Structure 1
Amino acid sequence: MTEEDGGGQSGPKRARSDGQKARRKKFFDGQKRQKRPKVMLTFDTDDRKSFLTGFQKRKAERKLKAKHVLDEELREERLRAKQRQKDRLLKLYDSQRPTEDIAAMALPAETTETYELPKQFVSITTFDPKDMSGSLGLSLGHNNDNTGGDQLAVTTSGAHQSDSEADSSDSGVKSTARSASELRQQILDARKANKMEALKSLKTNKAYQRREKEKHRKDVSSAKQKRKEMRKEMKNMKQKTLLKRQMKNKKNNKKERRRRPKPKKNK
């Protein structure tokens, strides 16, 4: 290739670029250029200083606020657990409440028959189940075909009842004492079960878990700090022992030098 050919190839490229520049210049010269307004940001010196120097203070405030919220949630959870425990104990008391005797109830009696035995009198009173359900507000045996149509109440009375009453009174005292001790034991067992259940529900609570995590973190950090202090103390003790040894060695060396005989001078 000759120089003319090379010049011929570079000519159109230059012309194209010159044309693009000319068109761009013509386009931009036709528009009115607007200057952008300069924006100056200024800060209040006091606010800026409080913001830049208050990171630790704001962090402490956030921690204190979170602690108050956590304590409030835990207090509400404890109150709910106490209410649940109270409801369970009330249910237990209601279930252990003694039932009244049928003969002592104010029910309409149909028939009453008395029988005289050698030591006591026996009276049998027959009640209609419909009348009993109406007076008690219950349905006693209406849907059960196997039960009889009447309810019986047996009572004992008479002049020959003194011996049997003494035996029955002793047995009644024993049974009441046994029932009272059983009831007391059941109440204690229920309280223990309620405490265990309340503890389980408290452990599953998110607020309690957050508090335990924070406590564990504090314990770990305090343990690390204690280990650091122990290492520092050990290091200081080692340095002190080394210094003591060095001082002792120096003293021993001085004593040995004093004990050595001085060399005689040759005349």
Structure 2
Amino acid sequence: MPLIPPDTGFTPAASFERLLKIMDDLRENCPWDMKQTMESLRHLTIEETYELSDSILGCDMQEVKKELGDIMLHLVFYARIASETKEFDITDVLNGICDKLITRHPHIYSDTEVNNEDDVKRNWEKLKLKEGNKSVLGGVPASLPALVKASRIQEKARGIGFDWEHKNQVWEKVEEEMQEFRSEFNAEDNSAIDHEKAEGEFGDLLFSLINYARFININPENALEKTNRKFIKRFQYLEAKAQDSGKKLQDMTLAEMDVFWNEAKKL
């Protein structure tokens, strides 16, 4: 089978057609690609999405480019599978998203007027309800990680005007939830606690912190992941220094480990 060379003009349309042709060849001739279903690809797509997220947080644009290509392949793959059962094809997918974007942006493609980003979001949610969504929150995937889901829930509620007016109100709510959690799980009290109730209060506290982060334009998922990476980097420094010293971490005191940990914090 002849190779499909890149288009010398490097146009988006020609490059996309090239990918579609390669996908057809793989689906018809490659034993692995021929066996795949939407279900078998699902977990791989999730993995590719996380790899894209890693490359974005790592500010590695070459990796971002590569991972975007991997995800694009998956999107084309799903459309190709659906076309085999006459459910839809890639043209239907592309026209569907184009039509939705036009409908959801009446301030661009019609005569609706908006003053700012918040107006755009409110219109978006109102249009979704007109299209048949029974709830503003209906579009939040049930399987989203809880931290991301909390952010999306709050953003969607804000989109129809259900939100705090000032960030100091949100911070007061954080302090209120902190006190309620402390009442259920006081670090100075060694008596047994109602674990289920304490868990509920802790969830309320996290939800309020995520809400405050939104008010000051901090993405909580990104913030926590950066802290995770920072901790990993420092801990691995600690492991390396312990090994250089001929020691095992489990045999070291906390005071000894703190020496290396404080060194790592200065790097």
The TM-score, its normalising length taken from structure 2, stands at 0.22
More helix by share: 2
The TM-score, its normalising length taken from structure 1, stands at 0.22
More strand by share: 1
